[in-house]
Amino acid sequence: YSRALPHWPAETGCNWATIATGATPARHGCKYSVHLPGWPLDKVVPGFSSELCRAEQIWQVVDRLGGLSIIIDYPQSYPINAKRVVHVGEDGYPGPNSRLCIANAHAYVTRDPPPELPEYLRRYLTKVEVRRAEGWANLPEGERLEAELPVETRGGAVTFYALLEREGGAYRRVSLFAERDYSKKLGEAQAGSWSNWVRWRFRLGGEIVWAYFRYKVIELSEDGRSLHIYMSQVYPEEGWTHPPELAKELVNRFGPYLHRPTEQALVVSGASDIETFIEEQEYQAEWYSKVASHLLRKYDWSLFIMKWHGPDFFEHFSLHMIDPSHPLFDPEREAEGWELYARFYGICDRLVSSVLSAVGDDVVVAVVADHGHVANVVHHVGNEVLEEAGLLARRPDGSVDWSRTKAVFLAEGVWVNLKGRDPHGVVEPGEEYERVRDEVIALLLSLRDPETGRPVFSMVCRREEAKALGVGGDRDPDVVFCYSTWAQPKARAKRPLKHPLWGVVTGTHGAYLPSAKTAVGTIETVFIVRGPGVKRGYRRPRPIALSDVAPTLCYVAGIPAPRDAEGRVVRDMLEGEPDLEA
């Protein structure tokens, strides 16, 4: 076991690429959002396509040697870039609007969202009207209520109809239809429960795509007037495996593939709740467990690699439950928080256990994560501070006036609007470029939290000065920064949203020092490995770097490290090597 330091920035797109390549971000070029040289300084793309990764990946090494790799939704693994691969999922992107998603998860509610809910969270909620059901064919006797549920798909808007039905004099069941015909029921769910999986055809362009979704009746009052329906992601029946025919085999054996379960924005917005979040994450983890076990027994493989994003989603909205440095921490509910953590990480344990059972004791197995979380206590800043300092200008409509702008925040850093590199560059290379960077660095270092007076940033520097963090490539910003993690006063705590266990974003990661900590949270992550040639019971006293993972695992497996690996073999974790002294 060892703690592990992520590279900067401590986020998904960056560090899963590092784990698979042994390369630093400066070499592999991947982050959550990637800006390519020559693009306008307001353009980024998700950094999860394999086409964006500039370093050799571990499954490409295995392929070179004639081995087969089984890959499940690992970042930068799609489009497939090796010959001998069994692939399930996509490119590991955890955000909305994934490659094949037909419709994102959504909620339908009868009450107005809180007025202070930001617009980016309101998009997860649609207010619906419950009214008497009229104009239905084949409707049995008795009073029923209905609500229209519009679904925005990649092929346009589709409307489903929710029919509220009584049991014992109270409304307790919601059935789903694609048209007002009671004989054509698609799904049914009791109050507080999930429906069956609904298989339905969706038109995308000129093509019909069959897909699955389900819904949960989170709330249904006895009179039917208060309603909250959560609808899962709508995801295709096939198209997400290689070989292609594998998708239907997996669905038939293990049920529909839920590619993106409930995540933190859905909980924070109130579209979902914590119980629903855990239920969906558990479904996905159990599905992955069954699929992994099946594939590991079906194929003659050399490498198995997968990413499960559940813990990252979970800690984003829950860290305040256990971390006293967050102003929303409530000591009277701390035990409740730890119980929830034990329950959720039990899902992780079962997923790992299923893989261990499938591979046996003579295989090298590693459990690793891309980053940890710290309490979200920092006073975040953006383009407004550059504007106040005269480094960024806007037009009357609020858009950036590039002809008068010298610097801009983009992709977890600050970019200088440089002539010869950027399409609207105004800053001359050389002396003026360095002067603007000096201005930006001095400005950011001068910023103080308005309530505590503490520095907003713990580090600000030129990108070439941050090589120790793995930074320095042409896709990295001109000025790199790391937020501080000062604890905030209780007065900072605001509870604008009333959800179970508060429901606000309280855990975070990204532009922080790799060793940053709060009372409980840490940006550090873990590297756990077992198998032939690996010491048993050894706890390394100092952390490794995530770029050490691939070289170490390749060494133990007896294969070359990826071509562009910059990390090292952690020899003190191997049998016959001396322990590292604390």
Residue 452 in domain:
yes
- Average pLDDT of the residues of the chain: 95
Residue 414 in domain:
yes
Confidence of residue 575 (pLDDT cuts 50, 70, 90): very high
Give the pLDDT confidence score for residue 489 in this predicted structure. 59
The answer, yes or no, to whether residue 500 has pLDDT greater than 50, is: no
- Per this entry, what is the length of the chain? 582
Residue 349 in domain:
no
Confidence of residue 379 (pLDDT cuts 50, 70, 90): confident
Please state the separation of Cα 55 from the chain's center in Å.
22
Give the pLDDT confidence score for residue 501 in this predicted structure. 34
The DSSP bridge partners found for residue 108 are 126, 229
pLDDT digits (tens, 9 = 90+) for 404-427: 999 999 989 999 999 999 999 999
Domain limits for position 413: 378-484
The answer, yes or no, to whether residue 91 has pLDDT greater than 90, is: yes
pTM score, two decimals?
Answer: 0.95
DSSP assignment letter at 503: -
pLDDT mean over 431-449: 97
Give the pLDDT confidence score for residue 502 in this predicted structure. 36
Measured distance CA(215)–CA(57) in Å, rounded: 38
Minimum mean pLDDT range among 25-29, 121-125, 169-173, 379-383:
379-383
Q: What is the dihedral of CA 372, 373, 378, 383, to 10 degrees?
A: 60
**Alpha helix (H) ranges present in 389-450?**
431-446
Confidence of residue 498 (pLDDT cuts 50, 70, 90): very low
Residue 394 in domain:
yes
Contact yes or no for 111/226 (Cβ under 8 A): yes
Instruction: Look up residue 390 and give its two tokens.
Output: 């005269």
Q: What is the dihedral of CA 499, 32, 48, 204, to 10 degrees?
A: 50
pLDDT digits (tens, 9 = 90+) for 256-299: 999 999 999 899 899 999 999 999 999 999 999 999 999 999 99
Give the pLDDT confidence score for residue 497 in this predicted structure. 33
DSSP assignment letter at 159: E
Q: How many domains does the chain have?
A: 1
Residue 434 in domain:
yes
Give the pLDDT confidence score for residue 275 in this predicted structure. 96
pLDDT digits (tens, 9 = 90+) for 145-161: 999 999 999 999 999 99
Residue 185 in domain:
no
Residue 405 in domain:
yes
The answer, yes or no, to whether residue 403 has pLDDT greater than 90, is: yes
Give the pLDDT confidence score for residue 437 in this predicted structure. 99
Give the pLDDT confidence score for residue 496 in this predicted structure. 37
Measured distance CA(51)–CA(446) in Å, rounded: 39
Residue 427 in domain:
yes
Contact yes or no for 565/555 (Cβ under 8 A): no
Measured distance CA(458)–CA(444) in Å, rounded: 10
What type of residue is 518? T
Q: What percent of the chain has pLDDT over 70?
A: 97
pLDDT digits (tens, 9 = 90+) for 67-90: 999 999 999 999 999 999 999 999
Give the pLDDT confidence score for residue 48 in this predicted structure. 98
Q: What percent of the chain has pLDDT over 90?
A: 89
The answer, yes or no, to whether residue 435 has pLDDT greater than 50, is: yes
Give the pLDDT confidence score for residue 40 in this predicted structure. 98
Minimum mean pLDDT range among 5-19, 370-384, 529-543:
370-384
Confidence of residue 490 (pLDDT cuts 50, 70, 90): low
